[in-house]
Amino acid sequence: MTELPEPMDDIDVAVLDALRRALAVADPVPAQLVGEVEFTLSLAAMNAELAMLADTGAGVRAPTVESADSVTFTSSTMTLMVVIGRDAGELRIDAWVSGGGITVELIQGAERVAAVSDVNGRVSWAPVQPGLARFLISPLTSGGRPVITPAIEL
Amino acid sequence: MTAREVEESLTTRAAAAFIEYRDGDLQGLHRLVAVVTPVLWHVARSCGLSQQNAEDTVQTTWLKLVEHAPGITTPEAVLGWLCTTTKREAWRVQRLARTVDLVDEPDLEPTVETPHDPAKVASMNDEARRLWGHFVTLSPRCQQILRVVCMGGAPDYAGLAEAMGVPSGSIGPTRGRCLAALRRALLDDPHWSLT
């Protein structure tokens, strides 16, 4: 290298600013990346257990099939049955969890909507946007692990 | 991100958010993620990763931060730590990918080209497209360094360059070979003007 280090000046700063603007067009940061990182970190922080799709034998439909209207998840501590329906043209979700007074969150991207199960263990959300969704169930006992379900297509 | 925002040093903002997180405020972690994730994206992409691999690499870096946070005793070092961790993870992923490539094309010399979308470059305004034309003629190594250092303000320049493997032998931010080359190309271009 023959050039001696020179201090940066206003032209250098302007060149770097212009490059940053060009990069924002040529290779933008994916819009959902920050939200996905935060979600991954929140799961790691909670030490959440990933629920499994229950095998209910004949008639079970994969959660990725758009027409799936009823899905059951199980974990070591609980069961969540989800029924996807329509209410005046809008999606609605009714779910039953194993117990009353349990907080269940419907998570769609960065959107999280919490609901508490009634005495029959029922929770519902309406209207619901179509797209990928997962459910987060708060621990049933203090010191227990929260449960997160895999994503399903609504 | 506007120029004004990056003038408040990324290093300082990242350090402040990290201190909040270390002191038990989870919002600090959210702020840190929001501030630094765009830089890490460009670190991963500058190492030649695909979009999907770059996203996975950035996720892995943040999980590693949570795991190693207690060992980071100097908050001002957190930005450099995150960039270095992303770079190492990106290289690991690249090595795995190249093993596959080399089976198909044994004569292919590994290079790190700046990933970008040609359709998006075509949609740039004149100033940006002209700058981009000069940028891609720089060595892959210079493209890699500049792509990352431009994400910070002047106070971050030396630290980001160091994280990308440029030895910092001098005090304060100096221009460096790669920025000097881009600056010269632009100043010699009669159609480019500072805006």
Supply the DSSP string of B24-41, one letter for each residue: T-HHHHHHHHHHHHHHHH
Whether A124 is in a domain gets the answer yes
- pLDDT at position A65 is 40
pLDDT above 90 for B87: yes
Overall average pLDDT of the A93-111 stretch: 91
Number of domains in chain A: 1
Domain presence at residue B176: yes
Closest chain B residue to the Cα of A3, Cα to Cα: B177
Closest Cβ–Cβ partner in A6, A26, A40 for B62: A40
A22/B135 CB distance under 8 A: yes
What's residue B85's pLDDT?
Answer: 96
Of A8, A14, A40, the CB nearest to B63: A40
The residue with greater pLDDT, B98 or A96, is A96
Domain that holds residue A149: 44-153
pTM: 0.73
Chain A neighbors of B160, CB-CB under 8 A: none
* Domain assignment of residue B67, given as a range: 3-187
Compute the nearest-CA separation of B75 from chain A (Å).
Answer: 20
Q: How is B119-146 classified by DSSP, letter by letter? A: HHHHTS-HHHHHHHHHHTTS-HHHHHHH
**High-pLDDT (> 70) share of chain A, %:** 88
When mean pLDDT is compared across A17-26, A75-84, B6-15, B68-77, the lowest value belongs to B6-15
pLDDT band at B174 (very low <50, low <70, confident <90, very high): low
Q: Is residue A30 a part of any domain in this protein?
A: no
Share of chain A above pLDDT 90, in %: 45
What pLDDT, on a 0 to 100 scale, did the predictor assign at position B195?
62
Task: List the single residue in B59, B123, B175 with the smallest CB-CB distance to A36.
Answer: B59
A74 to A9, A137, A150, B111, B189: CA distances (angstroms): 61, 11, 11, 47, 65
For A33-77, where are the alpha helices, taking DSSP H only? 33-46
Q: Which chain B positions have a beta carbon within 8 Å of A37's beta carbon?
A: 33, 37, 58-59, 62
Higher pLDDT, B169 or A22: A22
Examine the pLDDT at B175 and tell me if it is beyond 60. Answer: yes
pLDDT of residue B177: 87
Higher pLDDT, A24 or B6: A24
| Residue B193: inside a domain | no
Average pLDDT score over residue span A58-79: 67
Helix (H, G, I), strand (E, B), or coil: what is residue A111?
strand
Specify the number of domains making up chain B.
1
Q: Is residue A1 predicted with pLDDT exceeding 70? A: no
Q: Which of A61-65, A115-119, B26-30, B140-144 has the lowest mean pLDDT?
A: A61-65
What lies within 8 Å, CB to CB, of B126 at 6+ separation is none
Distance from the A1 Cα atom to the nearest Cα atom in chain B, whole angstroms = 8
Q: Which of A31-45, B32-46, B107-121 has the lowest mean pLDDT?
A: B107-121
- Compare CB distances from A23 to B6, B62, B147 and report the shortest one's residue: B147
Using a CB-CB distance cutoff of 8 angstroms, which residues of chain B are in contact with residue A18?
127-128, 131, 195
Enumerate the residues of chain A whose CB falls inside 8 A of the CB of residue B82.
Answer: none
Least confident among A1-10, B34-43, B120-129: A1-10
Closest partner residue to A25 (CB to CB) among B51, B66, B124 is B124
Residue B192 falls within a domain, yes or no? no
Are B177 and A8 an interchain contact pair (Cβ–Cβ within 8 Å)?
Answer: no
Query: Contact B120/A38, CB-based, under 8 Å?
Result: no
Q: How confident is the model at residue B131 (pLDDT cuts 50, 70, 90)?
A: very high
